[in-house]
Amino acid sequence: MKKIRIAIDGPASSGKSTVAKQLAQKLQYVYLDTGAMYRCMTLSLLEHHVDLTDETLVSEWIKKQKIEFITHDNQQSVLLNGENVTLAIREARVSKHVSLISSYKHVREELVRQQRAYIQQGGIIMDGRDIGTVVMPEAELKIFMVASAYERAKRRYQEHVQRGDYTQSVEEIQRQIEKRDYIDSTRLESPLTKANDAIEIDTTELNINQVVEKIMSYL
């Protein structure tokens, strides 16, 4: 089968990365989690106590950070300046601030430039918010995944529980998700929007396998 480029966009916790990872494994494609890149930058800023509201300082800082993805035993890890931050970038403090950092124009320009370097003729899956619209508008297949905020909060809650983290209720997580949705879709720089040629999949009532099968059928 000809290898193509696949763009998967959608709001927070709509299941994009789980689906993208499974598809990449099935198809032997390269997978790029662009949200992880915004998370790495946010983590680095927090660790070094950079003033997150100072857009100029933030933009200068992120240019000096190095993000790498490595794959080991079919598991992808992300390194920030050589340190494995795969788990740290999922912490609540990062989720809380990442939408602000990703709303900055120069932050987006820098990360989009880095993301484009991964684009190949085919055999790549990227997930994020602006992949089908800005990063890889030439993708042959574009998917826009949605799910109700309650369903997304429940999924995130389950992930927390699996890590032994009971600090937040489903309701609290839902409020945070709705806040991030709002910031991500109303920001000036490439807000979360569905590309005209994207196929929308509502995953509220679907499990991961069903979504993967649906996308496979579009291939």
125 binds ligand DC, rule: CB under 6 A:
no
Least distance CB 41 / ligand DC (angstroms): 9
Q: Which stretch binds ligand DC (CB under 6 A): 34-42, 62-70, 140-148, 149-157?
A: 34-42
Closest CA to 50 of 107, 129, 121, 133: 107
- Residue 156 near ligand DC by CB under 6 A: no
- Out of 7, 24, 32, 39, the only residue in the binding site for ligand DC (CB under 6 A) is 39
CA distance 106 to 116: 15
Q: Which of 6, 8, 12, 43 binds ligand DC (CB under 6 A)?
A: 12
Q: Does 153 bind ligand DC (CB under 6 A)?
A: no
Nearer to ligand DC, 39 or 142 (CB): 39
Count of other CB atoms within 10 angstroms of residue 33:
20
Residue 159: CB atoms within 10 A of its CB come to 13
DSSP secondary structure string for all residues of 189-214: SS-S---TTPEEEE-TT--HHHHHHH
Distance CA 121, CA 63 (A): 27
- For residue 180, state whether it binds ligand DC (rule: CB under 6 A): yes
- The distance of closest approach from Cβ of residue 149 to ligand DC in the complex, given in angstroms and rounded to an integer, is 14
Judged by CB under 6 A, which of 35, 50, 146, 199 binds ligand DC? 35
Interface with ligand DC, residue 136, by CB under 6 A: no
Q: What is the three-class DSSP state of 70?
A: strand
Cα 21 versus chain centre, distance: 12
DSSP 89: G
Q: Which of 5, 15, 104, 130 binds ligand DC (CB under 6 A)?
A: 130
User: Residue 99, interface with ligand DC (CB under 6 A)?
Assistant: yes
CA–CA separation, 216 vs 19, rounded Å? 11
In the complex, the residues that contact ligand DC under the rule CB under 6 A are: 12, 34-35, 38-39, 98-99, 102, 128-131, 180, 184
